[in-house]
Structure 1
Amino acid sequence: MNRLVWIACCFYLLIGFTSVIAAALLPELLSHYGRNYADGGNLVFAQFFGFLLGVVTQPWWSKHFGRSRMLLLTLLFIFIGYLAIGFLPAWPVVLLCLGLVGFGSGMIESTVGALIIDSIVEKTAVAMSRLEVFFGVGALVMPMLISLLIVSGAWQMTFFAVCGFALILAYFWRSYYTGNRQLLDRHAPADGESTAASALPAGKGKLYASMLAACILVFVLYVGLEMSIVSFLPSILLESMQVDAALASLSVSFFWGTMVLGRLFCGILAERYGYTRYLLWCSLGTAVVLIGFALVTQVAGAFIMIMLLGLLMSGLFSIALVFSNTLFPGRTEQTTSKLIAASGIGGAGFSWLTGRFMEHNSVWFTQWFLVLVALLMLAFIVLLSRMKPIVKDSAAANG
């Protein structure tokens, strides 16, 4: 089982890489193709659209191919996409291939998350937080590697390097599932069983819909908040404190660094004190620290707030994902897919909205908008903490 977790961590490391490559290489790609930032926006959107499509269609792929073969397919999609981009083809081909990479990444995130939640019975939160650590490490390390390759004039080698990693991972995954097919198949829904296993108890349809809607809103708000912070933190510091551009850009590294640090311990804390208590205290702390960030006037104080934000937000996604799945037993595949799709929409939508606020309103307005998002997230987490799992009544279960 430990080997499964470590291979799953490598999958998350891979999608940590893919999540930042397009943004980190955007200036080089635009310069090479003679494109503008509007075209860059199309590039980012192509990957996001592919990611969303992969997440939404993941249950269908899982049902028809099984998780084992499907994960091999996702690695093939990423390999083909980056291999083609590495040869710097025509711009439309780059857009298409980046969409293919996003498609594979979306399927990996929802599939591996569901697999770990289904397979790891004890200390599920610890296992999920370990995945998030590797995602964060990938998102941190890849820009550093890219900067070295840019300096050496070989930035396109980034794509081939990730292709190599995907091939190595495919080898280890195939070796693992060949010897553990029974374990993986036990947790994957069979064609005829998926509908029956996830059937709702009579009269519980509206309850399920309302509970799922609350979970979806938590993920929309959380990822929207996180992506807004990551995308606009340097700009907020530049506008509000007149700091040096290099120092402002470091703020994201401080945020991600404490995120990774927090993810080392968040699963242990959640298992020890309970999922709901962890989510409540961390979401409350996030709102309080964002208020402090909006009020602070010194650079040192701002960086302290940024690091506290990283620590407090580090486990919200993974612990909320584990807790949400406990509310809907037997529906891990569907629940995980919907929640990760919601997170993608929230990240894109709120980043766009925050950008509009930064452009047309004051930085002060934007900061208090982020506080409002955090407070709304806290309110829905309070609502989630009062919910109980939907279980079949004995009559339905036996009959």
Structure 2
Amino acid sequence: MNRLVWICCCFYLLIGCTSVIAAALLPELMAHYGRDYADGGNLIFVQFFGFLLGVVFQPRLSRQFGRGTMLTLTLCFILLGYLIIGFLPPWHVVLLCLPLVGFGSGIIESTVGALIIDAVEDKKAVAMSRLEVFFGAGALLMPLLISFLITIGRWELTFFGTVLFALVLAVLWIRFSQSNQALLQTAGRPSAGVTVSVPRKLRGFGLAVLLCCITLFFIYVGLEMSIVNFLPSILLESMPIDAAVASLSVSLFWGTMVLGRLACGFLAEKYGYSRYLLWCATATVLFLIGLALMKDLIGAFAMILLIGLFMSGLFSIALIYSNSLFPGLTEQTTSKLIAASGIGGAAFSWLTGRFMEHASIAFTLWFLVVLAILLVCLLVVLSRMKPVETMEYSST
């Protein structure tokens, strides 16, 4: 079981890297292909579209191929996509290959998350938070590596390095899955001859709970991505600082996100999932208000550090808590919630960008505060809900 958690952490490290590569290399790609930022936006969109397709089709593909085979295939998608892009083919080929990377990343995120929730019996929050630590480490460290490769003029090696990582991970995963087929096949399934409660269809109250969970993830990831994408611009427009200093804000945010994820699982297990989520979401509201009111750089950086710290465990712990409300539907629930999070990240990033362009910085910051308040309201509602009614099913 411990080996399963660690190899799943490697999967999350990989998709943490893939989530930032295109954005971090965007200026270099635009310069190489002679494209503008509208074309760059198309590049980011096709990767997101591939990610969304991967999340949506993951439950069906999992039933058809099994988790072990499916994860091997998705690593091949990422490997093939980046291998072709690394040779810097014509622009339209890049646009066709990047969705393969997004598709593989979407399947990996939803499959590995569901696998850990199903397979780990004790301290699920600790295991999930460990996954998020590795995702954050990938998102934090990859831009630093890219910056070094850009400095030496070999930025295209980013793609080949990721291909090598995916290849090594594929070999490790094939060996692990072949020797642990029983674990992968039975995770989340009832034992033979045991009567368990399994929800077959969601109706009425169950659909309302699911909609509440979907809205929670839609708003949370929208808030997180808005902060990550526009924090440097917000500081540049509101304070007399240069771009290099402003860009540090994202590193500070991700740094405390990673540190917070080291402890969030233990805290959630100790104090309870719903209580932990409410505390952290409330603290996020308070420190976002502090950021909106802050006028000096040191105070703003302090608020950013605290926001990252308290937001660090919201996604992983909310994913576990939401799945606990739908026993027996881990893959279906996880797929829907991650799909909602992807759409929310794209939608609110677009909306925040429009507010930055056509409204004031203060309005944008208070908009983020409102999103955080909505999170708290949704968590209050969810904390009062019990698992959906189930139907008795006898496993044979």
Give the length in aligned residue pairs.
Answer: 390
Q: Deviations over 1:349-397 (max 9, x none)?
A: 000000000000000000000000000111001111001012425xx44
For the residue of structure 1 that corresponds to 2:204, the secondary structure is helix
Distance 1:205 1:37, change over 3 A: same
Alignment of 1:227-242 (within 5 A): 227-242=225-240
Give the structure 1 partner of residue 181 of structure 2. 181
State the 1:296 CA deviation: 1.1
Distance 1:207 1:144, change over 3 A: same
Q: Check the 8 A contact 2:278/2:376 in 1, yes or no.
A: yes
RMSD of Structure 2 on Structure 1 (CA): 1.5
Structure 1 residue 209 and structure 2 residue 175: aligned?
no
Distance 1:52 1:189, change over 3 A: farther
Structure 2 letter corresponding to 1:260: V
Alignment of 1:168-317 (within 5 A): 168-187=168-187, 199-200=199-200, 205-317=203-315
CA–CA separation in structure 1 for the residues paired with 2:310 and 2:241 = 25
CA–CA separation in structure 2 for the residues paired with 1:7 and 1:60 = 23
For the residue of structure 2 that corresponds to 1:328, the secondary structure is coil
Alignment of 1:1-399 (within 5 A): 1-187=1-187, 199-200=199-200, 205-392=203-390, 396-397=392-393
State the 1:128 CA deviation: 0.2
CA–CA separation in structure 1 for the residues paired with 2:235 and 2:328 = 46
CA–CA separation in structure 2 for the residues paired with 1:385 and 1:197 = 21
Q: Deviations over 1:118-146 (max 9, x none)?
A: 00010000000000000000001111111
User: TM-score, normalized by length of structure 2?
Assistant: 0.96
For the residue of structure 2 that corresponds to 1:330, the secondary structure is coil
CA–CA separation in structure 2 for the residues paired with 1:279 and 1:234 = 27
CA–CA separation in structure 2 for the residues paired with 1:200 and 1:155 = 50
Q: Deviations over 1:297-330 (max 9, x none)?
A: 1111100000000000000000000000000000
For the residue of structure 1 that corresponds to 2:219, the secondary structure is helix
CA–CA separation in structure 2 for the residues paired with 1:302 and 1:339 = 32
State the 1:166 CA deviation: 0.4
State the 1:189 CA deviation: 6.4
CA–CA separation in structure 2 for the residues paired with 1:199 and 1:373 = 32
State the 1:244 CA deviation: 1.9
Identity of aligned residues (%): 67
Q: Deviations over 1:222-268 (max 9, x none)?
A: 10000000000011111111222111110000000000000000000
State the 1:36 CA deviation: 0.5
CA–CA separation in structure 2 for the residues paired with 1:51 and 1:325 = 21
Structure 2 letter corresponding to 1:110: S
Q: Which runs of 5+ in 1 are unaligned?
A: 191-195
Structure 2 letter corresponding to 1:248: A
CA–CA separation in structure 1 for the residues paired with 2:394 and 2:232 = 58
Structure 2 letter corresponding to 1:322: I
Structure 1 letter corresponding to 2:216: V
Q: Check the 8 A contact 1:46/1:98 in 2, yes or no.
A: yes
CA–CA separation in structure 2 for the residues paired with 1:105 and 1:122 = 27
State the 1:153 CA deviation: 1.1
Distance 1:231 1:385, change over 3 A: same
Distance 1:370 1:88, change over 3 A: same
Q: Check the 8 A contact 1:18/1:105 in 2, yes or no.
A: yes
CA–CA separation in structure 2 for the residues paired with 1:200 and 1:294 = 46
Q: Which runs of 5+ in 2 are unaligned?
A: 191-195
